[in-house]
Every structure is written in C-alpha cells, then in structure tokens.
With several copies, the nearest count.
Chain A
Amino acid sequence: MVTVEIPADMELVYKRPQSLTETHTHYCPGCTHGIIHRLIAEVIDELGIRERTIGIAPVGCSVLAYYYFNMDFAEAAHGRAPAMATGIKRVSPDRVVFTYQGDGDLAAIGTAEIIQAANRGELFTTIFVNNAIYGMTGGQMAPTTLPGQVTTSSPTGRDVETAGFPMKMAELLAVLPGAAYVTRQAVFDPRGIHRTRAAIKLAFQTQLAELGFSLVEVLSTCNTNWHMGVVEALEWAKKHMVAYYPLGDTKVSDGVRALMETR
C-alpha cells in the first residue's frame, strides 16, 4: 500500500461520494452511466439523505446499479421501475425514492408506467439515461435512436417511415400536470456535467418538497454499441443528439420555480 502525504495546506476538493460503494463498475470504458451514477451519489451526499433513500435499478446496462450505490436498492422488471417506485413511495412517504432507467426501459416497454406515474404526480425522482440505443442487449434500436442511426435492429439506419421519429420524453412528460420538474441535460463535457448535477439536485429537492414528479433526462453515450471511440462518441452525441434533443427544462412548476429562486 502506498501512503500519500497530503500537504497540510491542501484541501480536499473532490473525493468519492459516500453514496457510492467501493465496487468497480462493469460499464465499458468511457461509458457515461458511470458519470451519472456519480452525480446522483454526490447529490444524495450533499442533501444528506443517503440513509433514507431507496433506489431502483432498471433492466439495461445499469441493471447492477445496486452494487454501486451505497443505499437500499431494488431491481425492477424491465420498464416497471416507476410502478415499483410508486409502490415503495406510497408505503414509505418519508423516504426518498428514485428510479434509474434507460431509454429502452423508460421510453419503450415502460411507456405506460412512466407516463402514469408522472401524471399521478408520484413523489419520486427519475433519472432517465438516454443513450439512443439498447446497450445491454447489444445495440438494438431504441425509441430514442436518431433518424438514420444504424443499429443491429435498424441495419440500414432508423427509418422514420416505419419506426417513427425518436421520442422526446422530456417534452412528452412535461405535458402532464403531475410532473413538477422535467429537464433534459447532457454529460458530454464538464459544463454539461455540472448542469446535470444541478438538475439532479433540483429533482431530488422537488421530491423532498413534495412538489410532484421529477425527471432528469440525461443524454448519454454508448460508445460500444455506437461502434465509436470514447471521445468520438461524445463528439457525435454533442453534435447529433443535442441537435435533436434540445437541452434545458421542459417543465418547471410554480413550486419548483419558487424552489429555484430560494437556492
């Protein structure tokens, strides 16, 4: 073991959040799931709610999230995390509940569950990782796959004539009165990462203040199934994903606005 002397006049500006376990993740090198995990953990640390937070992992590449977050966790059936979260939150209203879901999970098989939970204004938070593909099953088309994007199930590129246009979930969910805070962010560079962190924090605060349902859509990459280099994937995403999926808040309820202003 190497012990490193930290000079006395150095102060800690970044350390592993307590809300993450020590376990190494199984994610591919450069996968943005890791960044998003970290941001959530940082926010939970900052809000001091780790010991009363219950997370729900989806089926998708982040299916093992429960090994990485240092808190109570459940693993949902594919797409059903919002229903499970509803069940948990309704019987444990003083706990903080969040779901972590991919785009196949949330925007395909789980469409009904997320829309209805949002509409009911369920008091949990959803972190929605949009990487425009089904990562875990090896790169099939997701509801969010961009027009023309090649995947294993759209081998000649997504054909909007037969598969429809990519779904803008943040815009769709914003229509529902039960949704108090809905935003879209991206973790393609440090600035975006900082903003995403702030958004995640606001989402959890929305929950803590019982203002309604909150969701942060995070544009992400999947270099492996996009068949790109890590940096190339970020560049591609910045160029193409952000063009289709505009960043920013799609829904800020009055309550949330008040919250924003008091910060």
Chain B
Amino acid sequence: MAKGMVLIDEDRCKGCGLCVTVCPQHILRLAEDRFNTKGYRPVEVVAPEACTGCALCATICPDVVFTVYRRKRPPQPAAVAA
C-alpha cells in the first residue's frame, strides 16, 4: 500500500519536467502520448504505489500542479518522557 499519493491538476502543468527530476522515487514522467488543454505534455505518475508523499514534486513545481497526501502514521505508543 502506497505511503503517499499525489493529485495532478493536469491542465495547469506546463510540462517543464522539474518535478520529474526531483521525485526521489522516479515515478513521474511527462506524458508521451497526449497534450493537455494548454498544449503541453503533462506530468503523470508512473508507479503511484511507490509514492512516499514526500511532496518534493510540489515543492519545485512552479505551477502548483500537485496536491499531496501522506498516510497517517499509525498511532505510536507515547514516548515516555525522560
């Protein structure tokens, strides 16, 4: 089960490829088969299950294409105060 998940606002994407270069999971690429309404090849997620929700893609994207989710950490036993 994926640790993270991104939503892509495809029509905002200008296909600049910046997110592709920073995704540590190498799961982003520019679509090769289609254009978005702006005429760019939009980004797409190749392997959603590998997404960690690290949000580096969102950090660098100049066009605020990504919304990023991360799985909540299961409630951990509270650390004992030292």
Residues of A within 8 A of B (CB): 4, 6-7, 9-17, 20, 24-25, 27-35, 38, 189-190, 193-194, 230-231, 234
B contact residues, range: 20 to 34
Q: Min CB distance, A181 to chain B, in Å?
A: 23
CB-defined contacts of B21 to chain A, threshold 8 Å: 231
A24 to B75: give the CA distance in the assembly, Å: 39
Beyond A4-B7, A11-B71, A13-B55, 9 extra complex contacts between A and B, CB < 8 Å? A9-B72, A10-B70, A12-B67, A24-B38, A29-B16, A30-B18, A193-B60, A230-B16, A230-B17
Residue of A nearest to B20 (CB): A231
A220 to B59: give the CA distance in the assembly, Å: 15
Taking a contact as CB atoms under 8 Å apart, the answer to whether B56 and A20 are in contact is no
CB-defined contacts of A38 to chain B, threshold 8 Å: 62, 64
**18 pairs, A vs B, C-beta closer than 8 Å:** A6-B69, A9-B71, A9-B72, A10-B71, A11-B70, A12-B68, A13-B53, A14-B68, A20-B64, A29-B14, A29-B15, A30-B18, A32-B62, A34-B62, A189-B60, A190-B22, A190-B56, A231-B17
Taking a contact as CB atoms under 8 Å apart, the answer to whether B17 and A30 are in contact is yes
Taking a contact as CB atoms under 8 Å apart, the answer to whether A27 and B62 are in contact is yes
Taking a contact as CB atoms under 8 Å apart, the answer to whether A190 and B60 are in contact is yes
Taking a contact as CB atoms under 8 Å apart, the answer to whether A35 and B62 are in contact is yes
- With A20-B64, A29-B15, A230-B16 in contact, do A10 and B69 touch (Cβ < 8 Å)? yes
- B12, B58, B62, B66 — most chain A CB neighbours (10 Å): B62
Taking a contact as CB atoms under 8 Å apart, the answer to whether A13 and B68 are in contact is yes
Which one, B11, B22, B55, B71, contacts A14 given CB within 8 A?
B55
Taking a contact as CB atoms under 8 Å apart, the answer to whether A25 and B70 are in contact is no
- With A10-B71, A13-B70 in contact, do A25 and B17 touch (Cβ < 8 Å)? no
A7 to B71: give the CA distance in the assembly, Å: 9
Taking a contact as CB atoms under 8 Å apart, the answer to whether B18 and A230 are in contact is yes
A158 to B21: give the CA distance in the assembly, Å: 31
Which one, A12, A30, A190, contacts B62 given CB within 8 A?
A30
CB-defined contacts of A30 to chain B, threshold 8 Å: 14, 16-18, 62
A137 to B64: give the CA distance in the assembly, Å: 26
Q: Min CB distance, B42 to chain A, in Å?
A: 11
Q: Min CB distance, A243 to chain B, in Å?
A: 21
Taking a contact as CB atoms under 8 Å apart, the answer to whether A34 and B63 are in contact is yes
Residue of A nearest to B10 (CB): A2
